[in-house]
Structure 1
Amino acid sequence: MLQPSPTRKKPGRLLRFASALVVLLAVAGYLVVQYVTGGAARTRCTVVSAGDDGVRHEFTPEQAVNAATITAVGTTRGLPERAITIALATALQESALRNIGHGDRDSLGLFQQRPSQGWGRPAQIMEPTYAAGRFYDHLVKVPGYTKLPLTVAAQRVQRSGFPDAYAKHEPDAALLAAALTGRSAATLTCTGLPATSTRAKGPDAVRAALVRDFGREVLQPAGAEVSGQATAAPSPSASPSASPGGSVGRVVTLPVAGGRGAESAAEVRRRGWQLAHWAVANASALHIERVAYAGREWTAGSTGTRWRTAPATGSGAQGAERGTGSVRIITARQ
């Protein structure tokens, strides 16, 4: 009598093996993505209204970084909040605040600018600070742009085939502009896991990104009266606030007041909250663990949508965190 061939069971075993392999590869792929992004895929950023109307807008860390850059470029040029709102609404429509390397015909970047139309070289357009600057170059040439309807002002710069499309983004753009210019205090947060130690970038990366977006004056505003050179490395025993724009260990301390004596308390606080919100927006990319300003603090991994009250006033670092003269940024351990 013929016996069943043992090879007839192999297809079943091979199928089960293949299925298990697919599952293992999927799990491995997920873990790799989480390692590479530092958990950024699970991180969401939120901006809320400063009022009690409950208005809020959620966006990704990538969008947060780009929005903060667009805002920094505009405020560094001394442009009004309305200009920032127009720029953010335009980028929301053109690219969803993503720095994409494709688009209609040769359109590229945050604002879908075209090299063939004189906006710059492709590599330049793909640099967010350059792209934002070029947008503002054109916007300020529009007569009375601050008083025009947003969609009209944006269209005169972009000359889009969909001229009315910008209007629908105005509420979200206005909410973002209020937070990222610092007018609305403690209204922008990001949730998610703190960066892992193996991915930490440290204070130097934070300082480089600040200079990229704001210029070198952000580390030591012109006219600030401090002893020593701004570029001098602080001594290990110095307090974190001893060197404006400097860092001690994992801490970067940013001066807010310019030392010119002409800024009002409101202007100083607004500048401080702009820098604090910028740091939170960049937390995932730069592996920032905590940001403190004016008696409030944000900590990576927090699930709340509001900043928390900082510890009671003390001397040294804690006392500095409760003042309005500087923003403290603490990076993840390396």
Structure 2
Amino acid sequence: MHPDAPIDKTPTQDRPSARTDDPSSTERTIGRHRAAQRQRRGGRALLASTPVRVALATGVTCCLGVAAFAGTREDADATREPVAEALAERAVDDERASRSLDRAVSPSPTLSPSPTPKPTPSATRKAPRKPAPPPRPRPVAGLTQAQMDNAKTIVDVGVELKMPRRALVVAVATAMQESRLYNLASDVLPESSRYPHQGSGADHDSVGLFQQRPSSGWGTVRELMRPTYAAQAFYEALRDVPGWQQMSVAGAAQAVQVSAFPDAYAQHEELATTVVAALT
């Protein structure tokens, strides 16, 4: 080409046009388009199938569970740090408290104090008290308290033996004559002084309220120095006297005592009656 020749700017070969009249090119384009449509339809059908849906749902659930577990663990780690710090501070406080001798022990704020156990009936039951002794009788008819106490012993023994009232009068009148209602030892029997007594006499080996003699078979010295035994021995001997209830007080007393002064008992009948009336 000549340098001075005008340059024809009209391209001899342009870029291929978007449209072509080539039949084979058109068929390839249509084929690719239909294949893409079939692929999309197949994917939708695959997603619509039940096994695939189940698999997808399971996968989503697992992912959510892992995410929730991770979040819970993070929350637990975040909570654990303040708890650890609190426990560390409490350990320091406990160590300080353990070194102090004046520390006050307070109950845990999270625990309610245990209730105080109620005492059992066996723990609150008091020991049985001994019965109080019966009141001593007030002396009457000029007797002392010791004489009145001995008269009461004689009357109580007679009541226990179910002796009639007249026997009580006979017994009290006999003790008034023999010992003036005192429990006497004997100067002849030193043994008698070893037992409780309220004086002593010297009438042979006679001892006690009724001045009964051990040598006559009334009992041992120790037995006769007991007022209850001496009174029982007298009542049993009176019961063995035939017709003693028809006798006078002095006659019934003499039948038992066989005294050298049989009429001496009569002087005590009225006083003995008054004492028995006060004691029954």
Structure of greater Rg: 2
Query: Which structure is higher in strand share?
Result: 1
What is the TM-score with the length of structure 1 in the denominator? 0.38
Query: Which structure is higher in helix share?
Result: 2
What is the TM-score with the length of structure 2 in the denominator? 0.45
